[in-house]
Structures are given as C-alpha cells and as structure tokens.
C-alpha cells in the first residue's frame, strides 16, 4: 500500500514561515481531504487540521492547511521553538478503503 509522500525534514529559522507538503493522488489527497497531525515524541499525536482544512478548537491560527490538486500543504507562520516536532499528513483513500499516512516531516526550528 503506497502512502502519502512528505519530505523527511525541513529546517527553518525562528519566527520564519515553514510550508510542509504532502503528495498523494486523486483517490486520497485530491478528493478526500487531508488531515495534519503534530507529534512530539513521548506524547500522542495532535490534530492540527481536519479533512476540511479546519483547525480544531485550541489550535493556533499560525497553522493553516490547503490543497491544490493532489498536493496538500501545511503552513506554519511565526515559527516558535515548540513547533519543532514531526508532522504527518493523512487521508482516506476511497479506492483502497484505507486511511494512508505520509512518512512524516521532521521540522527543525533553528
């Protein structure tokens, strides 16, 4: 089962903007919406944006999600030290009837 494609790592300076990408196909990202999760090791993952690109209550406006074709993006503005974490995208695949995850992007804030 092929998953979604994310760059393994991204590094950005404090207070800068990071854009993380997630590429799938028309059966998942392109038509089913993409969720984004933040994962600090030792803690459970946290949902940042749901399949409709909406932030759950309590999630900072610095996190915003969008989709163009088969690629989803998560933009994080005003990077803070606590944003350093692993970020995962996930989508329902309507052809395979499974949820798929990306391999995760490790964000380093310099």
Partner 1 sequence: VQLVESGGGVVQPGRSLILSCAASGFTFRSYNMHWVRQAPGKGLEWVAVISYNGGFKYYADSMKGRFTISRDNSENTLYLQMNSLRAEDTALYYCARELSAFDIWGLGTMVTVSS
16 or 25: CB nearest partner 1: 25
The secondary structure of 12-28 as a DSSP string is E-TTS-EEEEEE--TTT
| Cβ proximity to partner 1, 14 vs 96, nearer residue | 96
Q: SS3 for 102?
A: strand
Residue whose CB is less far from partner 1, 43 or 82:
43
Q: Which helix (H) or strand (E) holds 86?
A: strand 85-93
Q: Closer CB to partner 1, residue 18 or residue 91?
A: 91
Cα separation of 48 and 54, whole Å?
8
Write down the least CB distance from residue 7 to partner 1, Å. Answer: 13
Q: How far is the CB of 76 from partner 1 (least distance, A)?
A: 18
Residue closest to 33 by CA, chosen among 95, 75, 77, 94: 94
CB of 100 to partner 1, least distance (A): 7
What residue ranges bind partner 1 (CB under 8 A)?
1, 33, 35, 37, 39, 44-47, 49-52, 54, 56, 86, 88, 90, 97-104
Q: What is the rounded distance in angstroms from the CA atom of residue 95 to the CA atom of residue 7?
A: 24
Smallest gap, in angstroms, from Cβ of residue 30 to partner 1?
17
């Amino acid at each position: 089962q092929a998953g979604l494609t994310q760059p393994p790592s991204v590094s950005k300076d404090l207070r800068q903007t990071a854009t993380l990408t997630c590429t799938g196909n028309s059966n998942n990202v392109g038509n089913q919406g993409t969720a984004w999760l933040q994962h600090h090791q030792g803690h459970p993952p946290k949902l940042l944006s749901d399949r409709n690109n909406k932030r759950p209550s309590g999630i900072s406006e610095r996190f915003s999600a969008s989709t163009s074709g088969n690629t989803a993006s998560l933009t994080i503005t005003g990077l803070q030290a606590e944003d350093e974490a692993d970020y995962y995208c996930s989508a329902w695949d309507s052809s395979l009837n499974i949820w798929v995850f990306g391999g995760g992007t490790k964000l380093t804030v310099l």
